[in-house]
Homo-oligomer: A and B are copies of this chain.
Amino acid sequence: MIVTVKQNAREEEIQSLILWLESFGLQVRTWIGEKYTLIGLIGDTSSLDGRLIESMPVVEKITRIQEPYKNATRRLHPEDTVVDVSGVKIGGGHFAMIAGPCSVESREQIIDIAKQVKASGATILRGGAFKPRSSPYSFQGMGADGIELLLEAKKETGLPIVSEIMDISQLPLFEDVDMLQIGARNMQNFTLLKEVGKLDKPVLLKRGLSATYEEWLMAAEYIMSEGNHQVVLCERGIRTFETKTRNTLDITAIPMMHELTHLPVIIDPSHAAGMSRMVHPLSLAATGAGADGLIIEVHNNPAKALCDGPQALTPDAFDEVTRDVTALRNALRR
């Protein structure tokens, strides 16, 4: 971290600032220019509150050089992380196709869909048991029963399952779930992040609706700092001024996150636009941009889906998506 001292700072003010900075256990190096004095801080500055330093009357501004996410940064971990979901790999060239309904609704529904998406090439089954809904009066998911049905579908098809956990009190129910999903609204539920960080289980971390790349990586860092490094990042659309789509897919997140971190990055085209007819073009866009996988909502009867029906594909439409995604990957030799 570089601290720029104000032009009119007096010598004793600078000395007192240096002493104060040294009190954080960091080495301090000073560079006196004609107009400005710069102070370099050497050591681990990730726990330092930059805004506090900036509030000192003699400080002009500070510049961070190291990223505050030391586990997630690619700079210190250049190799791609490959996450293993009960045998299915994601990242480092392994492309994941995750599919299934927004909500588990019945035994028949989930097993039926699981079989169909598997036949089309899906490698992991998704399905919501606990649903974060903006209205308390909307269907909130089947809860524990939904998890049971997902496990049955897993048994029936062999597909590993991923489902969203909303609160640490639900942890015991997820023991046999292969991958935990942290939803966009919980991306900064730090209590939850820390607890899943203590598990030995892959985590699918969705990006918050208006989170920056750094905030998203800091959320991953919360999980990783507790020991769990099996984190897959999922871009699912950010909030913008556009109201004709539910959210706006940030396609640049794929190459940018690949630069900033070694963790895999997948895309959720279903939530991003909130419209089933956008899933095909957005899936091809994501694949073209280098995503490590897709997570797509598929329902055998979208018009009757208890949640997010408008964005679900039919199994047939999903089949078309997987075919074109494969053609595109082959053409680009991926």
Contact = CB atoms under 8 A, between A and B. Distances in A.
Interface in A289-334: 289-290, 302-303, 305, 307-310, 324, 327-328, 330-332
A252 B272 contact: yes
A244 B59 CA distance: 15
A55 B303 contact: yes
B239 A328 contact: no
A42 B212 CA distance: 33
Given A135-B218, A241-B241, A281 B255 contact: yes
Chain A, interface size category, equals 35 or more
Contact of A221 (B135, B191, B213, B273): B135
Interface stretch (A29-37, A80-88, A93-101, A116-124): A29-37
B241 A310 contact: no
Interface in A56-94: 56, 60-61, 63, 65, 68
A15 interface: no
A240 B242 contact: no
A213 to B, nearest CB: 5
A307 B189 contact: no
6 A-B pairs with least C-beta separation: A55-B310, A331-B331, A284-B288, A288-B288, A210-B210, A31-B31
12 contacts: A2-B4, A47-B137, A136-B194, A166-B190, A167-B167, A168-B169, A169-B169, A185-B189, A210-B241, A249-B251, A252-B282, A281-B289
